[in-house]
Amino acid sequence: MTLHELIQSLKTDGGKIVMLVSDGIGGLPMAPGGPTELEAAKTPNLDALATQGVLGMSTPILPGITPGSGPGHLGLFGYDPLEFQIGRGVLEAAGIAFPVGPNDVCIRCNFCTVDENGLITDRRAGRIPTEESSEVVKLLRAVKIPGVEIFVEPVKEHRFVVVFRGEGLGGNVADTDPQKTGLAPLDPVAKDEASKKTAEVAKEFYRQAREILKGQPKANCLTMRGFANKPSLPSYKELYGLNAAAIAVYPMYKGLASLVGMDLVGSPKSLEEEVEVLKENWDKYDFFFVHFKYTDSRGEDGDFDAKVKMIEELDKVVPAIAALKPACLVVTGDHSTPAKMASHSFHPVPTMIVSDLARTDSCNAYNETEASRGGLGHFQAIHIMPMAMAHAGRLEKFGA
């Protein structure tokens, strides 16, 4: 019996769960003996919750493995990131919160510049500004192919997403980007039987697109990479019996949440607005994923002090969330992003569960040192959801 089969067989009704994800929250001291970002930050509200809840250390994937945002969040949502892999095209679509469906093939596309012989002179179309490229993307919506619905969506600069929607469209098609200049884009070649139709559709899309782009000064051609179908993830409803809402500012996290069937609620522009959206939707859902991006952003900048400030911003909204009295509040991150490394890292993530059913430990602050000796021990991120369900009274006993 797999973990998912087990959870599905035990799920029952219970209290509400809030999962507050502070992206890249875990950190490192800048110098030996110094504090981490969490330890340097003044976080009276998180620390009060730590006194009352139980802490532990979450390993996003496996020890030593640094996760990207996709696998990091899949793990938090309870899907083994080594089993459920999100193709690059789907991740790009998720990144603009495109609602990927089961019959979709998503493709990461680049505008490029070709000469009169069709040979690429610039693989990124002169890094065409987003304002310009968005307009060119709109032109491509004129492409029509019988039996296939086509979506063309801007991303940033030369990057855009194409989605083919229809029956029998496999996602196993080779990239058309030859990876260097002086060559023509390659033909889209199916790598299995199930993807032959996709390759034909891609070829026809390319043919029509070339016509449309003919007059463009920079973006007069395109390459296609990362063809991918939606991974077949059981939804939050199927797996946990949860009506789940995702509250996020950044499109990528909305996209990831929509892959597991969460509703995207509100259009918050800040953490304060996210909390407002949470309050407004409190009665409508059982589970809320609340995502805070800037701890990761400032970590990626390598700016220790700025990350500390972001943690203190996070701390300020905690009382408003706790005041809603979720049966289980989880505070965690999808991975660590130490300012010292200016990147995602492999370090485990301080994780806290606040609930009437939490077996309180002796931790009195939410940080790495406390969490590493907390009552939850060290565990893989995929176990956070079952623990949250248990603390919200949402799992029945296994066996008699």
Residues found near a second copy in the complex (CB under 8 A): 1, 3, 6, 10, 26, 28-29, 32-33, 36, 52, 57, 61-72, 81-83, 85-86, 88, 91, 341, 343-348, 357, 359-362, 368-369, 372-379, 383, 385-391, 395-400
Tell me the closest approach of the beta carbon of residue 251 to a second copy, in angstroms: 14
Tell me the closest approach of the beta carbon of residue 297 to a second copy, in angstroms: 16
Tell me the closest approach of the beta carbon of residue 29 to a second copy, in angstroms: 6
Please say which residue, 197 or 347, places its beta carbon nearer to a second copy: 347
Tell me the closest approach of the beta carbon of residue 357 to a second copy, in angstroms: 7
Please say which residue, 57 or 248, places its beta carbon nearer to a second copy: 57
The region, left, alpha or beta by phi > 0 then psi within -120 to 50, assigned to residue 245 is: beta
Tell me the closest approach of the beta carbon of residue 186 to a second copy, in angstroms: 23
Give the residue from 101, 130, 362 showing the smallest Cα distance to 233. Answer: 101
Tell me the closest approach of the beta carbon of residue 391 to a second copy, in angstroms: 8
State whether the Cα torsion 305-311-315-320 is positive or negative. positive
Please say which residue, 78 or 261, places its beta carbon nearer to a second copy: 78
Phi, psi (deg, nearest 5) at residue 54: -135, 140
Please say which residue, 47 or 122, places its beta carbon nearer to a second copy: 47
Token pair, residue 200, equals: 């034909």
Residue 5, H or E segment: helix 3-10
- Rounded Cα distance, 370 and 366, in Å: 7
Tell me the closest approach of the beta carbon of residue 118 to a second copy, in angstroms: 30
Token pair, residue 204, equals: 């026809």
Phi, psi (deg, nearest 5) at residue 264: -90, 115
- Rounded Cα distance, 21 and 186, in Å: 41
Question: Under a CB-based contact definition with an 8 Å cutoff, are residues 25 and 338 in contact?
Answer: no
Tell me the closest approach of the beta carbon of residue 302 to a second copy, in angstroms: 14
Q: Give CA 322 to chain center in angstroms.
A: 24
Please say which residue, 122 or 361, places its beta carbon nearer to a second copy: 361
- DSSP letter string, 355-373: -TT----S--S-SHHHHTT
Count of alpha carbons within 13 Å of 245, Cβ hemisphere only?
Answer: 21
**Residues constituting the chain:** 400
Tell me the closest approach of the beta carbon of residue 320 to a second copy, in angstroms: 21
Please say which residue, 168 or 377, places its beta carbon nearer to a second copy: 377
Please say which residue, 32 or 215, places its beta carbon nearer to a second copy: 32
Question: Under a CB-based contact definition with an 8 Å cutoff, are residues 186 and 221 in contact?
Answer: no
Tell me the closest approach of the beta carbon of residue 65 to a second copy, in angstroms: 5
Please say which residue, 315 or 361, places its beta carbon nearer to a second copy: 361
State whether the Cα torsion 363-367-371-375 is positive or negative. positive
Please say which residue, 188 or 338, places its beta carbon nearer to a second copy: 338
Question: Under a CB-based contact definition with an 8 Å cutoff, are residues 59 and 382 in contact?
Answer: no
Please say which residue, 80 or 263, places its beta carbon nearer to a second copy: 80
Please say which residue, 29 or 99, places its beta carbon nearer to a second copy: 29
> Which residue is it, tokens 């996760």?
67
- DSSP letter string, 228-255: EEPP-PPPHHHHH---EEEE-SSHHHHH
Amino acid at 168: G
Tell me the closest approach of the beta carbon of residue 31 to a second copy, in angstroms: 10
Euclidean distance between the first and final Cα of the chain, in Å?
A: 16
